[in-house]
């Protein structure tokens, strides 16, 4: 079993980095970052983290119960189609008064999804959040390196 506090701490630190960069909402759509922030694996990860507030996981309708058992995040919604998924995201954008959404502009970001997102949300700015995700992971690496150095002594 995973330590829920580790993942909560990561999300809180990420939210701090998001606020510093002016990112109101972060869309995590790749397995590596999704696992790093939730502690669970999902074939098609859809994690949305507001700069303030609780994260949202979107899952296919048949995965809802499994997702509820597999992660510390309590805010989980299901969808059956791309328009239904986008409806959840649009509601989050409205509820949190989002002006800028960050995505990790990496190979795993589906271009069609980004295009549909921009079409459905023409007033929302899209930003590359790769740097803040890397910075978050660097904090972990520095802590781990310091621990290894202490163990060697």
Kindly report, residue by residue over 77-116, the tens digit of the pLDDT. Answer: 999 998 898 899 889 999 999 999 998 877 566 676 777 7
The pLDDT value given to residue 77: 95
Coil, helix or strand at residue 17: helix
What's the whole-model pTM score?
0.82
Q: Which residues, at least 6 apart from 117, have a Cβ–Cβ distance to it below 8 Å? A: 27, 86, 89, 101, 126
- CATH number of the structural domain spanning residue 93: 3.40.350.10
Q: Would you say residue 51 lies in a domain? A: yes
Q: Would you say residue 22 lies in a domain? A: yes
Kindly report, residue by residue over 34-74, the tens digit of the pLDDT. Answer: 999 998 988 889 999 999 999 999 999 999 999 999 899 99
Question: Which residue range is the domain that position 31 belongs to?
Answer: 4-148
Q: Would you say residue 153 lies in a domain? A: no
Q: Would you say residue 69 lies in a domain? A: yes
Q: How many folded domains does the chain comprise? A: 1
Please give the Cα distance from 141 to 151 (Å, whole number). Answer: 15
The pLDDT value given to residue 44: 87
Closest by CA to 133, choosing from 43, 49, 44, is: 49
Q: Would you say residue 55 lies in a domain? A: yes
Q: Would you say residue 94 lies in a domain? A: yes
What is the DSSP code (8-state) at residue 61? Answer: G
């Amino acid at each position: 079993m995973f330590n829920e506090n580790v993942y909560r701490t990561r999300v809180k630190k990420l939210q701090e980095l998001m606020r510093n960069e002016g990112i109101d909402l972060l869309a995590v759509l790749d397995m590596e970052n999704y696992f790093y922030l939730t502690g669970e694996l999902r074939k098609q990860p859809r994690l949305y983290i507001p700069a303030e507030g609780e994260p949202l996981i979107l899952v296919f309708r048949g995965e809802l119960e499994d997702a509820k058992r597999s992660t510390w995040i309590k805010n989980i919604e299901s969808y059956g189609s791309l328009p239904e998924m986008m409806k959840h995201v649009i509601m989050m954008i409205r509820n949190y008064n989002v002006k800028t959404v960050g995505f990790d502009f990496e190979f795993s970001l589906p271009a069609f999804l980004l295009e549909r997102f921009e079409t459905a949300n023409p007033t929302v700015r899209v930003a590359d959040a790769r740097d803040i995700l890397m910075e978050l992971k660097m904090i972990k690496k520095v802590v781990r390196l310091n621990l290894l150095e202490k163990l060697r002594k």
